[in-house]
Amino acid sequence: MKLKLVKASEEFRHQITEMMDEWSATGETIVPYAIRVMDYHDFERYCDSVELKEPRNGFVPASTFFCLDEERNIMVGAVNIRHYLNEALLLNGGHIGDGVRPTERRKGVATAMIGLALEECRKLGIERVLMVCNKENIGSAKSIINNGGVLENEVEVDGVIEQRYWITIK
């Protein structure tokens, strides 16, 4: 598996649409949030919507990348990188939100994708990265820990226990 992060563009319309169709068909919540905000069928507007260049309505500037498996030419997931933390993201959300396409889970995709996202964080000058996951999401916790995540604490958010991990970028 040879993975790389790419931006949403016309070049990847088919791969992104295929992944989103599969994910939507499951009925589960698609993560990260940034890739479900806008209807992906209006692809030009969708590509514009996944990037947030200026702070707006409590959201901070963020970059969204889709994870392409170059060998199979399919999208296997996505990451959203918040350029800095506001009070809400410091509690629950963190710098990186990530999600793996349903049929690609339990294959090491999340661990590899987070590693690639950490490289993007380095380019943004972020030296300490906060990642947060639901305590019951063992796979997500493992992928964060595999990338150097150290559990700081657990917090309750809307009745759900969230784990807060810090990763120091070397």
The predicted pLDDT at position 58 comes to 85
Task: Go through the domains of the chain in sequence order and give each one's CATH number.
Answer: 3-127 (3.40.630.30)
Alpha helix (H) ranges present in 8-146?
13-26, 43-49, 87-91, 109-123, 138-145
Q: Are 168 and 127 in contact (CB under 8 A)?
A: yes
C-beta neighbour count of 60 within 10 angstroms: 17
Structure tokens given for 94: 């963190």
pLDDT on residue 9: 97
pLDDT by 10s per residue, the chain, length 170: 899 999 999 999 999 999 999 999 999 999 999 999 899 999 999 999 999 999 988 899 999 999 999 999 999 999 999 999 999 999 889 999 999 999 999 999 999 999 999 999 999 999 999 999 999 999 999 999 999 999 999 999 999 999 999 999 97
Q: What is the rounded CA–CA span in Å between residue 57 and residue 108? A: 35
Coil, strand or helix at 161: strand
